[in-house]
Amino acid sequence: MAGNRLTVAALQAPFGPNIDTNIRTVADLVRAAAADGAQVILPPELFQGPYFCKTQEEHWFETAFPALEHPCVTALQPLAAELGVAIPVSIFEKDGPSYYNSLVMVDADGAALGVYRKSHIPDGPGYQEKYYFRPGDTGFKVWPTRFGRIGVGICWDQWFPEAARAMAMMGADVLMYPTAIGSEPHDDSLDTAARWRRAMQGHAVSNVIPVIAANRIGDEDGQVFYGTSFIADHSGAIVADLDRETTGHISAEFDLDFLNRHRAAWGFFRDRRPEFYR
């Protein structure tokens, strides 16, 4: 990272039932992003297979693994080391009798820096995650990667300003959100893509911090994931994005020294009044 600059990337792709194929898809996109200079590369949520949480079917529990033994993690660790990039890897985690929607941060030497378990678990038509996942018990995480301090929430976490503020207060340089979101089975007229973006753009503005969101695409038995993965800068402006159908990556470079000065100058953290936040 020359001159304390950080280049981030988001990946977007469809995923099917074969985990090996899905891992190859992500690996190919990671290679392409790394070739463009990306240092921290974000795949979408639960890329190991289809987004299974649209229904409640017990056979999906068989697809969970202990975090550090998960095939997505063990496959991407050597790739991260080979390319010298950090990869937040979203997984379905089994920990004894407990199951979580989790993320393992893999650093640029291939080492796993630890596990974050999704804090906010949705439950609604097409997104019935409470059947599968316990609420996370790790608290929010900010990872000291080789390239900078990376805060990562998972999908539904992205709607909560408290999560973004907590990670910013923990010293995050950027915020990342792996996602699986698309059509709403109960209301064909509801398209949340624009408000999905606006919520995270607000996090960028209020914390003076870049935000990176990676979503999947494709029609999975009638549930259509709308992509529109994006990178917003510290002002909330979209500096790179993808459409609803393209498989690929986007990237952007940020000056971390500038962001630290600018964040201090805005005073959002200086002027907090936590004694009134009840």
**How would you write the pLDDT of the chain (278 residues) with one tens digit per residue?**
446 999 999 999 999 999 999 999 999 999 999 999 999 999 999 999 999 999 999 999 999 999 999 999 999 999 999 999 999 999 999 999 999 999 999 999 999 999 999 999 999 999 999 999 999 999 999 999 999 999 999 999 999 999 999 999 999 999 999 999 999 989 989 999 999 999 999 999 999 999 999 999 999 999 999 999 999 999 999 999 999 999 999 999 999 999 999 999 999 999 999 999 88
Please state whether 43 falls in left (phi above 0), alpha (psi between -120 and 50) or beta. Answer: beta
The reported pLDDT for the residue numbered 47 is 98
Q: Is 155 annotated as catalytic?
A: yes
The reported pLDDT for the residue numbered 3 is 63
Nearest CA among 241, 220, 218, 216 for reference residue 47: 216
54, 93, 141, 155: which one is catalytic? 155
The reported pLDDT for the residue numbered 14 is 98
45, 93, 129, 220: which one is catalytic? 45
The model scores a pTM over 0.75: yes
Q: Is 45 annotated as catalytic?
A: yes
54, 94, 118, 141: which one is catalytic? 118
The reported pLDDT for the residue numbered 1 is 41
Count Cβ neighbours within 10 Å for each residue of 82-91 and write b for 16 or more, e otherwise.
Answer: ebebbbbbbb
Q: Is 141 annotated as catalytic?
A: no
The reported pLDDT for the residue numbered 2 is 46
The reported pLDDT for the residue numbered 278 is 84
The reported pLDDT for the residue numbered 161 is 97
Provide the sign of the torsion angle of the four alpha carbons 160, 96, 108, 77, taken in this order: negative
Three-class DSSP labels, 142-153: EEECCCCEEEEC
